[in-house]
Chain A
């Protein structure tokens, strides 16, 4: 019935796996983590959609709009900090290729410090807004602004914890299949957050500034 029914000779066919093909742990894990990052991307896509719907003039209900308080140069400093952090992580991963443990840890530490700079700038920005009386409860538009930017900041926060954990694991365990796999997945995570930040910067800060 099926079109290719007799392409294999049953008398000579190989019936059992005799070659011990083993599954590559690192590639299986990175694939799974890539799939998770797709869902993370969908999460941000939905938040951007909500922000788009709630960034009309009437969404701010006569209250403050991003055009009144956004400072693109301030958030540009955040951009530079985050991008340098990704770059430092990249240098660290380059050291991994040469099995250079201290090079990797230095790169990770630099990535961590720069990530902290990003987060401190964000917290300072938020407390500044709070002191001006601008909160998540100000209007629908401000709710969307706050949640989108702070969900991204939360991702950065957990990324920083993860970087510390990985530094500790590399120091105690060295380069095992597990730690190397996690360094790769953390790298994907860190890159994605930087990419998302590009969208946040353009659509929330730059667009908010000019609109």
Chain B
């Protein structure tokens, strides 16, 4: 029943062979050498400083939602960087390969990338940016902030949380290894039927794409269940639904979408796999298959997915604006309703991704109207943010700048989205770079909100603020880059330039492409500014230490516990009386009241099972990609066995006694007092970044 494969196959290695390693590729081979050298240096440094035990105990086996969130964010930032490099390569190819007289190098007729390689670059760029950069960054923030904002000590299922992280890491590893072993898909990040069928795409690229996406989908579904259960079950006493912080509402609505939509993606991918591995005919051009079934199934997930990533970003903006306007959020209830409405409507609009399918005027009209409906709750949100700032006491620090930038981009992206919702316009600009510019505006709303949140919540997680000067420098460079790249892109779209061109036939577009190349150079400078920002902030961290309430005007529960947040979050869980609990306590002068006494608390143990499971899912994905059947069976059996063994062992957790809790809390209060003094004397020394977030647990307490 298994299909006949083009090319070789051996029982031991499947389709894997030396010829699959691109050692002759002038771009990939030097990159591979650089990666290997970098990895050796990194591993050497860890060994030299003797950090392996620390890494294993404190990070790789942790079930602490804050550390897992930080690791999600690190994965997201690394993949954001990789996706950015892909974007840089796309821009450079397009500015180079214009007109028949343009030169070509590295075996390419025009530019420096062959069509096959260029196809892999833009496919990887799209997939990485949406599913391995934006998604892990947002999931990371939800992981860190949601449990603290609802006043819990951890997620509802700490082990499942770790499992979700390591499966996501496995997906990231799988797409990264496709750089050096075999090829990646070259048909676009969402693929098309029937070109992804084995006879048209005989390589392993589409298979890498299938299993990377399957792993991301699995990890995100698990994470979604966890956050939903945490919000429903783990809220602190007194926190009724009407007092839920707005970011928690945003996370809730986003994860309702994740839970319901990702299964559709998993089915779509499984059916593609059935076609490619078992010779099924779901999406083939003949034999009774249906090409548009694939496109529909994919976008039934795909459109909810884009709201899954934008709703948490809206939630972040809703936290940043009130804090730096020193006012409560305007229209809390309408904000909640708008989030839920966007989550609901997200299911009714998928066909607008392919109005040109030819479903007829009635179907297209229905989806057009449904798409325009999205503008109503989104408009409500925009006005709510504007009214939050109206007559507020505004602080234009870097976090606020990113949030305001997000608001402007949302207007541009939203308005062009309304244009695209009109089928008549959509037919004209379908598959043009106008569409590309539109969805980049929208996804940049997310990136802006994320960088705003990095600045906003960094002091909470690590205990010191990031450098304002470099953060603002990065913001302005990034915004200049955005304008320079995407304004010409909108214009080119109207002129009829289609997307994904590895060769630009119209020489009159050259000047626009030049401006866009300049834009990507400015973007590169902003990336540089980000690295400087991290370096300068870590260097000066002793000067920038903060107490519990880093901004002095924050409103929600996470700012009531210490910075960095201790591993148990709250020594005594707060009793919630008002919607903006901290603001209310501050207003009535009771924000410094400490708990009278400390009781024993129960915490989950660390476990190495989650990272081993992640490793096994990576092996399974790799073996499936290369069709190494024995390895598939071995890794699948190992996963099942490990699940059973883990379920027999269980986790009794451990107890921190009230006395020990009191010792740690007093230590934290002492340090906070020291920080308050140091603001008019000398910096506080001690503490390194790596040890942040935990007053190391006393081993005798185990």
A residues whose Cβ falls under 8 Å from a Cβ of B: 1-2, 4-5, 8, 10, 13-21, 23, 27-29, 31-32, 35-36, 38-40, 42-43, 46-47, 49-50, 53-54, 58-61, 63, 135-137, 139-144, 146-147, 161, 165, 168-169, 172, 178, 182
**A to B CB contacts below 8 Å, 6 in the list:** A15-B585, A39-B221, A39-B263, A43-B266, A54-B282, A141-B288
Q: How many A-B residue pairs have CB under 8 A?
A: 169
Partner of A54, one of B236, B288, B595, B647: B288
Flag if B259 contacts A35 (CB, 8 Å): yes
With the chains together, A100 CA to B281 CA distance in Å?
51
B87 within 8 A of A: no
Query: Contact check: which of A39, A135, A144 meets B260 at CB < 8 Å?
Result: A39
A167 vs B210: C-alpha distance in the bound complex, in angstroms? Answer: 36
B 250-300 contacts with A by CB, 8 A: 259-264, 266-268, 270-271, 274-275, 278-282, 284, 286-290, 293, 297, 300
Q: In the complex, A60 Cα to B332 Cα: how many Å?
A: 54
Chain B: minimal CB distance from A11 (Å): 8
The verdict on A17 contacting B332 (CB below 8 Å), with A32-B226, A139-B288 known, is: no
> Shortest 3 CB-CB distances between A and B: which pairs?
A140-B288, A10-B588, A143-B280
Cβ of B593 within 8 Å of any chain A Cβ, yes or no, is yes
- The proximity string for B residues 205-239 relative to A, scoring 1 for CB distances below 8 Å and 0 otherwise, is 00000000000000001001110110011101110
Tell me the smallest distance from the CB of A154 to a CB of chain B, in Å: 11
Within 8 Å of chain A (Cβ to Cβ): is B48? no
List of B residues within 8 angstroms of A182 by Cβ? 647
Residue among B228, B332, B577, B640 with max Cβ neighbours from chain A (10 Å) = B577
Given contacts A28-B233, A31-B229, A32-B157, contact A13 B577 (CB under 8 A): yes
Binary A-proximity of B70-86 (CB < 8 A = 1, otherwise 0): 00000000000000000
Q: How far apart are the CA atoms of A144 and B274 in the complex, in Å?
A: 10
A46-B263 in contact (CB<8A): yes
Complex CA–CA separation, A42 to B347 (angstroms) = 13
Residues in B whose Cβ lies below 8 Å from that of A141: 288
Given A38-B260, A42-B263, A182-B647, check contact A139 B287 (CB 8 Å): yes
Is there contact, CB below 8 Å, between B156 and A32? Answer: yes
- Is B579 in contact with chain A by the CB < 8 A criterion? yes
Q: Quick check: A50 and B282 within 8 Å, CB to CB?
A: yes
Asked whether B590 lies within 8 Å of A32 as measured between CB atoms, the reply is: no
- Across the interface, which residues of A come within 8 angstroms of B260, CB to CB? 38-39, 42
Q: Determine the distance from Cα of A38 to Cα of B255 in the docked complex, in whole angstroms.
A: 13
Q: What residues of chain B lie closer than 8 Å to A172, measured between beta carbons? A: 648
Task: Find chain B residues with CB under 8 A from A60 CB.
Answer: 288
A136-B288 CB under 8 A given contacts A10-B590, A42-B260: no
**Which residues of B sit under 8 angstroms from A161, Cβ to Cβ?**
640
Q: Is the CB of A169 within 8 A of B280?
A: no
Contacts of A43 in B (CB 8 A): 263, 266-267
Cβ-neighbour of B578 out of A8, A17, A23 (below 8 A): A8
The B571-612 residues at the A interface (CB cut-off 8 A) are: 572-575, 577-580, 584-585, 588-590, 593, 595-596, 599
Q: A59 vs B283: C-alpha distance in the bound complex, in angstroms?
A: 11
Which residues of chain B are near A35, meaning CB under 8 Å? 224-225, 228-229, 259
Tell which of B226, B229, B232, B328 touches A2, judged by Cβ atoms closer than 8 Å.
B328
Give me the interface of B with A, judged by CB distance under 8 Å: 1, 156-157, 160, 221, 224-226, 228-229, 232-234, 236-238, 259-264, 266-268, 270-271, 274-275, 278-282, 284, 286-290, 293, 297, 300, 327-328, 332, 572-575, 577-580, 584-585, 588-590, 593, 595-596, 599, 640, 644, 647-648, 650
When A39-B221, A136-B278, A147-B274 are in contact, do A178 and B262 touch as well, CB less than 8 Å? no
CB contact between A20 and one of B281, B290, B599 (< 8 Å): that residue: B599
Q: Which residues of A contact B574 (CB under 8 A)?
A: 15-17
When chains A and B are docked, how far (Å) is the Cα of A16 from the Cα of B596?
Answer: 9
| Neighbouring B residues of A144 by C-beta, 8 Å | 282
Report A-chain residues with C-beta under 8 Å of the C-beta of B234.
Answer: 23, 28
Contact of A136 among B228, B279, B286, B595 (CB under 8 A): B279
Instruction: Find chain B residues with CB under 8 A from A146 CB.
Output: 280
Q: Distance in Å from the Cβ of A196 to the closest Cβ of chain B?
A: 13
Contacts of B327 in A (CB 8 A): 1
Chain B residues positioned under 8 Å from A18 (CB to CB): 572, 575
Return chain A residues, CB-CB under 8 Å to B270.
147
Contact A140 to B281, CB < 8 A, known contacts A27-B233, A59-B290: yes
- Which A residues lie within 8 Å of B332 (CB)? 2
Assess the A40–B263 pair: CB atoms within 8 A: yes
Task: Chain A residues near B595: list those with CB within 8 A.
Answer: 15-16
A residues in contact with B156, CB < 8 Å: 23, 28, 32
Please tell me if the beta carbons of B289 and A140 are within 8 angstroms of each other in the complex: yes
Name the distance in Å between B272's Cβ and chain A's nearest Cβ.
12
Q: Chain A residue with minimal CB distance to B266? A: A43
Do the beta carbons of A42 and B279 come within 8 Å of each other? no
Chain B residues with CB under 8 Å of A27's CB are: 233
Partner of A140, one of B278, B284, B585: B284
- B287 & A61 in contact (Cβ 8 Å cutoff): yes
Provide the bound-state CA to CA distance between A177 and B596, in Å. 32
Contact between chains at A143 and B281 (CB < 8 Å): yes
* Bound-complex Cα distance A35 to B225 (A): 6
Give CA–CA (A15, B590) in the complex, Å: 9
- Assess A137 versus B279: contact at CB under 8 Å? Given A10-B588, A17-B574, A28-B156: yes
